[in-house]
Amino acid sequence: MNTPLKIKICGITNRDDAQAAIDAGADALGFNLFPGSRRHVPLSALTPFLPSIKALRVALMVNPTVEEIRDASPYFDVIQLHGQETAELSARAAALAPIWKAFPLGETLDEATVAPYQAQSILIDTSLPGAFGGTGVLIDLDKAARFVASCPARQIWLSGGLTPENVALAIQKVRPYGVDVSSGVEFPGDPRRKAPARLQAFVAAARSAAALD
């Protein structure tokens, strides 16, 4: 890889898990502002400790209004659009904050689809009807590898069902700019708490795989 692999831990709901992810070596933390998510945290619950976070702070939003993006942007380094947002909305949002755009990796996703979006990074996730990430279902790695290869000028983050056990294979096969994990580093049955041992194992496995490239 031309640049060091980036690692994002998403679905952070509290200060302790944020610190555990940072201690494990994460580069970025994702906070879910989408009320429909099991990992949702209202902005008011995050603002007391967000300024102390020593990692890239990413707000995950699903089909937000421009006003909602404007309200969140002072507290985050990046706004991640994870719904069916249009290229027009991404352009308006990009005037307020750096934008990442997430896409489900369906049959029709290609470079032409993402080209109109004003996004610093593109995130690809498992394609499941009605789901907006955090499903725990592994993304199609072969299809992901083809997509990444077709977009050499883009920073592509790989998400969808990654775990400490499979992230090394995923990195070696897909060669993404970064990897994004949520359910794969949680305590079993608890989508609102990260397991420190799994955080550490995930980061270690990802760094080791990237070092071999």
Per DSSP, the residues of 120-179 read SEEEEE---TT--S---PPP-HHHHHHHHHH-TTS-EEEESS--TTTHHHHHHHH--SEE
- As a whole-number percent, the residues of the chain with pLDDT over 90 amount to 91
The model's pLDDT over 123-149, given as tens digits with 9 standing for 90+, comes to: 999 976 655 555 678 999 999 999 999
Q: Which band of pLDDT confidence, cut at 50, 70 and 90, is reported for residue 1? A: very low
**Alpha carbon of residue 87 to chain centroid:** 19
**DSSP run (H or E) holding 103:** strand 99-104
Integer Cα distance of 43 and 46 in angstroms: 5
The model's pLDDT over 59-107, given as tens digits with 9 standing for 90+, comes to: 999 999 999 999 999 999 999 999 999 999 999 999 999 999 999 998 8
Tell me if residue 125 is catalytic: yes
The mean predicted confidence, pLDDT, of the chain is 94
- The torsion angles phi and psi of 75, rounded to 5 degrees, stand at -100, -5
pTM of the model as a whole: 0.94
Per the DSSP assignment, residues forming a β-bridge with 157 are 123, 178
Tell me if residue 27 is catalytic: no
Q: Which residue among the candidates 16, 125, 140, 180 is catalytic per the annotation?
A: 125
The model's pLDDT over 34-51, given as tens digits with 9 standing for 90+, comes to: 999 999 999 999 999 999
The model's pLDDT over 178-187, given as tens digits with 9 standing for 90+, comes to: 999 999 999 9
Cα 103 to Cα 109, 114, 159, 161, 211: the distances in Å are 8, 8, 10, 15, 27
